[in-house]
Structure formats: C-alpha cells, structure tokens
Chains A and B, each alone.
Chain A
Amino acid sequence: MLRYVLRRLLLSIPVLFGIIFIVFALARLLPGDPCRAALGERATEAICNAFKDRYGLNEPIPVQFALYLQQLATGDLGDSIKFGRPVTELLIERLPVTVELTLYALLFAIVFGMLLGLIAAYRRNSAVDVATMIGANLGVSIPVFVLGLLLAYLFGVLLRDTPFALPPSGRLSAGLAVKPLAEQWGLQGLGGPPRSVLDFLSNIYTLNFLVTGQWDKLADALKHMVLPAVALGTIPMAIIARITRSSLLDVLGLDYIRTARAKGLRDRLVVFRHAMRNALLPVVTVIGLSLGALLGGAVLTETVFNLAGVGRSVYEAITGRDYVVIQAFTLVISIGYLIVNLLVDVSYAYLDPRIRLS
C-alpha cells in the first residue's frame, strides 16, 4: 500500500510542474498591459517602467519563470496588482467561501445521490425507480446557472413570505457580524502561519459559529448556503445516483449475493451490508471526478448568488487583468484538485487491492 502511495505521489510531481508552467504561461500571454489595467490610462511611461521593474516584468520570460518558482517555493504568491495586498491575504478571505460552498454541495450530492440510487436499485423498475432516473437525467442536464437562478426565483421571490423562503444571495443577513476566532479567543498576539490558518477557519462562517456556539448566526449562515449548495450539487448528485444504482444492480446479480439470499438473510441486510460495500467503488471514483465540475461550477454559483469566493475572484481578476491573482488562485484551485484526485486514487486502491498490485 505504501509503495502504491509513494509511486502515485512521485507521478504527481511532473503534473504539478506542468500545472505551474501552464498557469504561468497563460497569465503572461494575457493580452493587455497589466500596468495600464492596474494604474489606469493616466500612467506615464516612466511610472509603468518602475511598475514593471517592481513586478519583474522587464526580465526575459525564462528568468521570470525562475523567479516565479523561487517565489512559490517560499510560499509567497505575490501581491495583487489591483488591491496592492498579498494574494495570500485575499486567499484567506475568499478560499473559505469556496471551500464551504463546495463541501456543502458535495455533502448534498453524496447523501441524496446515494440515497436515491439505493432506493432506485432496491425498488428496480418501480415507479420510484423510473421517477428517480428521469430526475437524474434532468439533473445532469440543467446548467448550474439556470438552476441557481430558478431556485433564487422560487425561494427568494415566489415563496418570499412563507416559511420556506430562503435568502437568494450573500452569506449572512444584513446586521449580523462575524468576529474572527482569534479575537473571540483572545489570541490577537498570535502571528505567522498559525494565525493564517485560524483566520482561514474563521472565515468558514458555519464552522466559526459552530465552535463558538452562536446558534442564531449558524442557522442564518446555513440558510444562506442551502440554495447555492443545491444548485452546485445537483449535477454531481444526479451522476452519483445513476452510478450507485447501476453499480448496485451489477453487484446484486453476482453469485455471492445469491448465496447470501439462499442463506435466508433478510433482503435489506443483503443490500446494505453485502452489496453496498462492493458497489461503492465506482461511486468513490465518480465523487472524485465530480470535484472538478464542482470547482468549475463554483465560478458560476458564486456569480449567481453573489458570494465573494475564489471562483468569483478569478473571474473578476481576469476582467481586471490582475494576473498575479489569476495565477495564484488558478494554481491553488488546481493543486487542490490534484490532491483530491490523489486521495481518490489512494482510497480506491485501499478499497480494491487489485489496483495497487497491478
């Protein structure tokens, strides 16, 4: 097992460099002058030259790449051209939004997807099965942004004055404030990476309110998450439901299931205990694959629901030609995706010994 993990880790290194190179190349190829984009049309030649010197833009491209790698190795992602602040600061503010959104979307997708797939397989060819599969087909076909807007209309407009109303934008209701955990726990003196991690966690609002026991605010933050998470999670949910169903049906046709049934085990026990375990393998793969779609969809979801997350920031940085931010955020998201895929592969190998031995 350890050998498999190590080999898999080694194989990701060239991919990691590939990612870094592509991100760097794309950001340098961006049309338009970053100086004029940052400082406006009034910037003179001299000011622009000083600006380019400061950001190393006058060096030859290979030198720029080497400098970039050096910078990355020290954990420095550069300063945003637009905001004049370190990108890491922006990341600490915005990545938690995306992490929170993606996790809730994934949770929704896994729980409901597996549940629906299980019911459909269990009651194969029943009305429930047919309805679930029609729903799954519709679910994979509706664009994230269309579903998001429809949900916003349904729960934010049509059901506005009913108990089912849900907020269609933002992360918290007006008037509610979030205090950083460091402040609440009297750790203002804390600095360096531990402080960054703590600030990062503070910005995952639901986590912040949960650990500090602010239940009203927690409920409010969760309510704000429902629509975005459902909008983002619907496509993966539909895919997971389909895979769970078909994989479970495959397994239910195997001999050992017949044996278990012949032993007189209860049907439910056979499905949940014996079949489900083996049917999980393809489901795990699909969950891993869905993450790419989730991260891409986060750009759209964050735009529809006005959430200031990483996806939205990338989009804004692109329109503002803030290539440092584009570079850093695309890099962080892609590396996160790489790590998740690694974890999926490893867990797959853990679940199925044939993979790590081949």
Chain B
Amino acid sequence: MTTTTQPLPEVVADRLAGSPATGIWRDTLRNILRQRNALVGLAILGVLVLMAIFADQIATYRPDHVFRDETGRRNDPCIHALGCATSQTQHLFGTDANQQDVFSRVVHGARISLQVGFITVGFAILLGALIGAVAGFVGGWVDNVVMRIMDVLLAFPALLLAIAIVTVLGNGLINAQLAIGIVAIPIYARVTRASVLSVREQDFVTAARALGESPHGILFRRIMPNALTPLIVQGTLGIAGAILDVAALSFLGLGAQPPLAEWGLMIGAERNSVFNAPHLLIFPGLALALTVLAFNLLGDGLRDALDPRLNR
C-alpha cells in the first residue's frame, strides 16, 4: 500500500512541500488570494473604499452643490478633454434635474452604500446570531417557538415585508436599513443555530462542561467560534443583498431622502429621464451594480476558501 502511484491532491502536496502549519487565518488568506473571483472582488472593493474615504478630494464639487448660474438641467456630460467647450463648467457625468454634479454625487454615494451594507448586515448578524445561538443551545420549547417565528418572517417575500416595515417606521435611510436588517435576521439565526447544533454534543463541549465552565462561557467561548465561518461567508453575500435592497427602497422613495447622494434615490428620482437623459441612470446604476458585484465575488471566494468541501 505504500507504493501508491496516484498523485497527491494539490492541497495536500502543498502542505507536505514544506509550508509549515501557519494557523487557520494565514491559510484562509492564502486560499482567498488563490481565488480569482475573490481577488477581483477585493480589487473593486478596494477602489470603492478609497473612493468613500477620499470622496471629498475625488469629487469635483460638494454632492449637494447647485449650479444655479448654468443654463438648463439634466445636461449631458461635459468633458474638456473630449472636446466640450472650455467656456462651460466641466461635468464628467453631467448634471441632474437639480443642477447638481452627477459625478460628485456618484463618488459620495460610495460612502453611503458601503456604510449601509456594513451597518445593516452587522445589525442583522448581531441579533440573528444571538437568537440562533440561544435557540440552538437551549433547545426545547424555546428553540421551537423562536425558530417558528423566524419561519414566519422567512415566509414573506423579503422586499415586500421590508416595504411594510418601513411604512410603519416612516421613510428614511435609517429606517430602511432597519427594515432590511430585520428581514435578514432569520437567515443568520438559522445559520448560527445549525452550527451550534452541530457542535453542541461534541467532546470538547462536554469537557468544558465537566470542567465547570458556565453555560454562558461554553456558548460564547467554545461553541460560537465554530459559527464564525458560515456567518462571515453569509454576511459578505448578505452585504451585497442589503445594499441592493436598501437601494431598492430608496428607488421607491421609501429610503434615503433628497438631497442625500444615495444611488438608489438618484435612479428613482430620475427614472422618467430614461428617454432623454439616460446618463442620470447609467452612472449611479453602474456604481451600484459594481459594488454589489464586489461583495458577491468576495463572498463566493470566501466560501470556496473557507469550506474545503467545496474545493474543486
């Protein structure tokens, strides 16, 4: 049996070839960097983060600056390098109905959308993980009741429920985030509960219990770290979804309110301009799609990197 001629799988070969055991995080990072999708996602995300941080420097004007002295609204892009008369003010992406510079608004929109994604999903993960962990750990009727409530929330089409919640809370970006966050809670509760259930009866947990560790300590120090991986993967993909959904609410007029430079709102406010000033929709639309794409690619890459069963 020692004379096996089959080549070792790449991963095993790698490990044997001398790279010392480097710990899970280093391994993970290496795995992620090996995924082409994740790299592309990271690159786009990097650009977006830079754009958000340096929005004031990159944007040519303040996002709410109104060019009162200019003739006409919804002007086409005017780029001097491409032959636009230098007597006119340069607007890379043109101006909108309020005579505001679209380029500056798109750049500043990155700030809002990234913040929306992280905060919304952070809120949902925090509550969802807590609910799922307690349900899975305690078990019994608590588990039953809690998870049935989660089932009911999942039984609604997500966007529809979010619309209904936001109408109760009132329009606004914060409320839209809250609504999308609430709707996403059951997803993270399920993910966490599944991880908790899968390790609850394992020996290291029994050992911790035998050593007299408090239930609280067992849950948060011993069990929860096992739920981290699926939560990170689900959360990254969830950010993409949250950015999409909050933008959708803003598009319908239920989320961000003018004059905030939010992409969904910019598209919604100008949706009837599709026939005469499409640049008002195309630029924020592209920015939105690219942001969502970045998180989707990164999430897929993370999943492939963190879940060895999926390696192919």
Residues of A participating in the B interface, judged by any CB pair closer than 8 Å = 14-15, 18-19, 22-23, 26, 29-31, 137-138, 140-146, 149-150, 152-153, 156-157, 168, 249, 291-293, 295-297, 299-300, 303-304, 311, 314-315, 318, 326, 330, 333-334, 337-338, 341
Contact = CB atoms under 8 A, between A and B. Distances in A.
A182 to B, nearest CB: 31
A338 B152 CA distance: 10
Contact of B289 (A30, A31, A138, A318): A138
Given A18-B149, A141-B292, A143-B264, 11 more contacts: A30-B168, A31-B168, A140-B296, A143-B244, A143-B248, A143-B288, A145-B271, A157-B274, A330-B164, A338-B155, A341-B155
Interface in B257-307: 264, 267-268, 271, 274-275, 278, 281-282, 285, 288-290, 292-293, 296-297, 300
A138 B247 contact: no
Contact of B160 (A141, A145, A249, A314): A314
Contacts of B247: 143
15 contacts: A19-B152, A22-B156, A29-B168, A31-B170, A137-B293, A138-B289, A141-B296, A145-B268, A146-B285, A153-B278, A153-B282, A293-B157, A300-B248, A300-B251, A303-B251
Going nearest first, the 4 A-B pairs with the smallest beta carbon separation are: A296-B159, A18-B152, A146-B285, A141-B293
A300 B248 CA distance: 7
Interface residues of B, number: 43
B98 interface: no
B288 A334 contact: no
Interface in B9-35: none
A40 to B, nearest CB: 20
Contacts of B293: 137-138, 141
A119 B272 CA distance: 38
B268 to A, nearest CB: 8
Chain A residues touching B, majority SS: helix
Interface of B: 37, 148-149, 151-153, 155-160, 163-165, 167-168, 170, 240, 244, 247-248, 251-252, 264, 267-268, 271, 274-275, 278, 281-282, 285, 288-290, 292-293, 296-297, 300, 312
A318 B155 contact: no
Nearest to B40: A137
Contacts of A303: 251-252, 271
Given A137-B297, A144-B248, A145-B248, A297 B159 contact: yes
A216 B163 CA distance: 38
Contacts of B151: 15, 18
A334 B157 contact: yes
A249 B248 CA distance: 35
Contacts of B148: 14-15, 18
B153 to A, nearest CB: 8
A146 B251 CA distance: 10
B160 A295 contact: yes
B271 A22 contact: no
A258 B91 CA distance: 61
A155 B208 CA distance: 65
A138 B290 CA distance: 8
Contact of A142 (B153, B164, B165, B289): B289
A19 B281 CA distance: 36
Contact of A295 (B157, B167, B264): B157
A337 B240 contact: no
A249 to B, nearest CB: 7
Given A18-B155, A141-B289, A334-B157, A299 B275 contact: no
B288 A315 contact: no
Contact of B152 (A15, A146, A149, A153): A15
A249 B312 contact: yes
Contacts of A330: 156, 160, 164
Contact of A299 (B159, B288, B290): B159
A295 B170 CA distance: 23
Given A143-B288, A153-B281, A157-B275, A26 B165 contact: yes
A321 B281 CA distance: 30
Contacts of B297: 137
Contacts of B296: 137, 140-141
Contacts of B282: 150, 153
